[in-house]
Chains A and B, each alone.
Chain A
Amino acid sequence: MLKVKNISKQFVSGDTTVKAVNDISLSVPEGTFATIIGKSGSGKSTLLALLGALDKPTQGQITVDDKDITKMGDRHLISYRRDSIGFVFQSYNLVPNLTALENVMLPMEFAGLKTDKQKKRALELLKIVGLDDQKAGRRPARLSGGEGQRVAIARALANKPRLILADEPTGNLDSQTGKVIVDLLKKLAKEEKTTIIAVTHDESIAAASELTFRLKDGKLIK
């Protein structure tokens, strides 16, 4: 499903050039829950940004379902991200002024879906992630950490993406809640046949995943 071939990403700051990602190649089959593990500064977040088409590699190729996303124009990338990728951020990054339900509806609104269909699907997704209707009407400030992350996962699933990218999805949660979230991601990968790639520094999450890639100084290590 996902094929990464010799990608690198360089950042230039004055006279200094930093290779945050250095000649990485990997592939992830469809429906897999995979993790990318590494210490802080290993390049995992940069790699995730490249996989999610939020940034472009300095060199190399990324193919998702045989589509080379490194060659797509900006407009194409916007619709690609909207329709094919779901993001789960470490700090959930929910829109603070919107309720949980409205946050989940947001990607569908950008995709042009009618409001009643948005609402219906959003409620279904919140149910899947274990949030009831009452909590659906609350704003993020009134949700617990675990609940917020569930909403973020539901939002990531909104447009039925082929690929979900999660950046430290349990980073701000206690271990018990974190386990719940990881189990949820595993379940979604299996049941929804969505490929999930989570970036983490937590070995226990890596252990729970089906496929693990280790990063050090921007390179894959065995």
Chain B
Amino acid sequence: MEIFRNMWRRKFRSFLTIFGIVIGIFAFTVMGSMALKLNKMIDGGKKYITGQISIMPKGTDFATGQMSGMLPIDTLNKIGKVEGVEAVEGSVSLAVDEPNPDEPISMNISTPATIYSFDTTSNFKNKNWETLAMKEGKLIDKESADNDISIGSTVTLDKQWKLNDKVIIRGKEFKVVGILDKTMSGPDSYVFMKLPVARGLYIESNPFLKSLRDRSSEAANISDMELAKLSPETRSQIIQAKTFKVEDVSTMAAVSWKDGADPEQVVTRIKDQFKDEVVVLSPKKMGETIDKASATMNAVILGSAMLALIVGLFSIVNTMVMSISERTKEIGIKKAIGASPRSIAWEYTLEAGVIGLIGGAIGLGLGTLTAVVLNQKMASKGAEIFLIDTNFMIAVITFSFVIGLIAGLIPAIRASKLKVVDAIREL
């Protein structure tokens, strides 16, 4: 009680000091919740990406994500025969929404809804991701119709699509047969459809591939003699169209390894045999890259919040130094009537801790409220950007108390060492 009375004695000063901590803890709570959410999403993604060997077409631009879209099926079949490989599955992904020519660049916080193909005939299984839990309906399978789709939780909210709805994607009609449970990672934004259907949409979206497909049957009927009579440019186009196979269209492929096999050795073997044809992404290296990026992101997010907190910490130190200076006589009295240096030090350290705790509680409350409100605003798009975690909140409040204790420690120790006679200045 004496602590609160002492704080009340200097209301304005106490308010300013607490306010400094409030700002620091508010920033820490908001940024920390954002980091937690991002980490959870990254963890989900990392789990997925390290559960398979990813194959990309040669010529993929990793900076822009631009892909050639061609992974020849023959090459994938050969990869399937490499020692240690269990299964290979080609896949296609593209945005659900066609690009808007009036808005070529869109600033979206959330991941846009993405078509993700599902090869219902493949026996490929991601080592870290056995199955996707469903909230409603089912995940498309072998028995599903070609126009059946299963959608992620974010897609449901963003597009307002419900189970059994008939929806239009890129001019084609589909039926929603399943809605996934929230995964806090990639699949929340996915629209799963059968691979051949996804391929068809991809080809339609790519003028070059579309022209190859459209001309392939016509080109098949042109004899070699007729081919030789054509101009070199036209001849080359016809040859491309002749050799075009729809099955060669894949934006990436996933490789699983046999039980007991070392995935990194499998990666090496694939690289050795197919380095001129494909880009192979090792699960270990991908994991390391993600960890590095995640660590940097966390450092930036939390580092900025820590700066605000350090300012708050110094404000407590300043307040305690001033407070002790004003209460020197009181310290002398207490020492004269039997207070030990330890009890004096503890009294002032605790007072600083309480300031930290009060500031922390208010900052945490405001930060959590902000996160909840912003999440609610983004919930309609399924794009919550904060993760509100009880353990984190407990950690923040404990941390603010400890920060207060630390800030008060040195002034408190100085107070405990004051000489009684000097402090009282009467005797």
Using A82-B337, A82-B338 as known contacts, say yes or no to A89 and B424 having CB atoms under 8 A apart. Answer: yes
Q: How many A-B residue pairs have CB under 8 A?
A: 72
In the bound complex, residues from chain A placing their C-beta under 8 Å from that of B343 are: 110
- Is B144 located at the chain interface by the 8 A CB criterion? no
In the bound complex, residues from chain B placing their C-beta under 8 Å from that of A89 are: 333, 424, 426-427
Q: Determine whether the beta carbon of B427 is less than 8 Å from that of A167.
A: yes
Q: Determine whether the beta carbon of A54 is less than 8 Å from that of B427.
A: yes
What's the minimum C-beta distance from A104 to chain B, rounded to whole angstroms?
Answer: 10
Report A65-96 residues with CB < 8 Å from chain B CB.
Answer: 75, 78-79, 81-83, 86-87, 89-91, 93-96
Of the listed stretches A41-49, A188-196, A210-218, name the one at the interface; the rest are far from the partner chain. Answer: A41-49
In the bound complex, residues from chain B placing their C-beta under 8 Å from that of A175 are: none
In the bound complex, residues from chain A placing their C-beta under 8 Å from that of B341 are: 78
Q: Determine whether the beta carbon of A110 is less than 8 Å from that of B426.
A: no
Q: Determine whether the beta carbon of B420 is less than 8 Å from that of A159.
A: no
> Which of the residues B2, B9, B338, B424 comes within 8 Å of A110, measured between beta carbons?
B338
Q: Determine whether the beta carbon of B336 is less than 8 Å from that of A95.
A: no
Q: Determine whether the beta carbon of A52 is less than 8 Å from that of B427.
A: yes
- Is B273 located at the chain interface by the 8 A CB criterion? no
Which residue from chain B places its CB closest to the CB of A108 in the assembled complex?
A: B338
In the bound complex, residues from chain B placing their C-beta under 8 Å from that of A156 are: 337
Using A81-B336, A107-B338 as known contacts, say yes or no to A97 and B427 having CB atoms under 8 A apart. Answer: no
- Is A111 located at the chain interface by the 8 A CB criterion? yes
- Is A155 located at the chain interface by the 8 A CB criterion? yes
What's the minimum C-beta distance from A143 to chain B, rounded to whole angstroms?
Answer: 16
Using A48-B427, A49-B427, A90-B426 as known contacts, say yes or no to A54 and B338 having CB atoms under 8 A apart. Answer: no
In the bound complex, residues from chain B placing their C-beta under 8 Å from that of A183 are: none
In the bound complex, residues from chain A placing their C-beta under 8 Å from that of B421 are: 49, 54-55
- Is A106 located at the chain interface by the 8 A CB criterion? yes
- Report Cα–Cα, A159/B2, bound state, in Å: 21
- Report Cα–Cα, A50/B127, bound state, in Å: 81
- Is A129 located at the chain interface by the 8 A CB criterion? no
In the bound complex, residues from chain B placing their C-beta under 8 Å from that of A52 are: 336, 427
In the bound complex, residues from chain B placing their C-beta under 8 Å from that of A64 are: none
Report A15-67 residues with CB < 8 Å from chain B CB.
Answer: 45-46, 48-49, 52, 54-55
- Report Cα–Cα, A66/B391, bound state, in Å: 60
Q: Determine whether the beta carbon of A93 is less than 8 Å from that of B427.
A: no
Using A97-B9, A98-B2 as known contacts, say yes or no to A167 and B338 having CB atoms under 8 A apart. Answer: no
- Is B340 located at the chain interface by the 8 A CB criterion? yes
- Is B265 located at the chain interface by the 8 A CB criterion? no
Report B404-427 residues with CB < 8 Å from chain A CB.
Answer: 420-421, 424, 426-427
- Is B339 located at the chain interface by the 8 A CB criterion? yes
- Is B236 located at the chain interface by the 8 A CB criterion? no
Fill in one digit per residue for A103-121: 1 if any B CB lies within 8 Å of its CB, else 0. 0001100110000000000
- Report Cα–Cα, A97/B426, bound state, in Å: 21
In the bound complex, residues from chain A placing their C-beta under 8 Å from that of B334 are: 95, 106, 110
Fill in one digit per residue for B334-373: 1 if any A CB lies within 8 Å of its CB, else 0. 1111111101000000000000000000000000000000
What's the minimum C-beta distance from A84 to chain B, rounded to whole angstroms?
Answer: 10
- Is B269 located at the chain interface by the 8 A CB criterion? no
- Is B329 located at the chain interface by the 8 A CB criterion? yes
- Report Cα–Cα, A90/B427, bound state, in Å: 10
- Report Cα–Cα, A54/B420, bound state, in Å: 6
Q: Determine whether the beta carbon of A110 is less than 8 Å from that of B427.
A: no
Q: Determine whether the beta carbon of B333 is less than 8 Å from that of A93.
A: yes
Report B1-60 residues with CB < 8 Å from chain A CB.
Answer: 2, 5-6, 9
Q: Determine whether the beta carbon of B424 is less than 8 Å from that of A81.
A: no
Which residue from chain A places its CB closest to the CB of B337 in the assembled complex?
A: A107
- Report Cα–Cα, A48/B330, bound state, in Å: 19
> Which of the residues B5, B338, B340 comes within 8 Å of A97, measured between beta carbons?
B5
- Report Cα–Cα, A110/B333, bound state, in Å: 12
- Report Cα–Cα, A94/B334, bound state, in Å: 9
Report B374-427 residues with CB < 8 Å from chain A CB.
Answer: 420-421, 424, 426-427
Using A45-B426, A46-B427 as known contacts, say yes or no to A97 and B337 having CB atoms under 8 A apart. Answer: no
- Report Cα–Cα, A201/B83, bound state, in Å: 106
Which residue from chain B places its CB closest to the CB of A95 in the assembled complex?
A: B330
Q: Determine whether the beta carbon of A110 is less than 8 Å from that of B339.
A: yes
- Report Cα–Cα, A68/B183, bound state, in Å: 76
Q: Determine whether the beta carbon of A78 is less than 8 Å from that of B340.
A: yes
Using A89-B333, A110-B343 as known contacts, say yes or no to A78 and B427 having CB atoms under 8 A apart. Answer: no
What's the minimum C-beta distance from A43 to chain B, rounded to whole angstroms?
Answer: 11
In the bound complex, residues from chain B placing their C-beta under 8 Å from that of A83 are: 338
Residue contacts A-B, CB under 8 angstroms, 8 given: A52-B336, A81-B337, A82-B338, A83-B338, A89-B426, A89-B427, A155-B337, A167-B427
7 more A-B residue pairs beyond the given contacts A54-B420, A90-B426, A98-B5, with a C-beta to C-beta distance below 8 A: A45-B427, A55-B420, A78-B338, A93-B333, A110-B339, A111-B338, A167-B427
Chain A residues at the B interface, C-beta cutoff of 8 Å: 45-46, 48-49, 52, 54-55, 75, 78-79, 81-83, 86-87, 89-91, 93-98, 102, 106-107, 110-111, 155-156, 158-159, 167
8 smallest A-B Cβ distances: which pairs? A82-B338, A110-B338, A49-B427, A97-B5, A93-B333, A107-B337, A54-B420, A45-B427
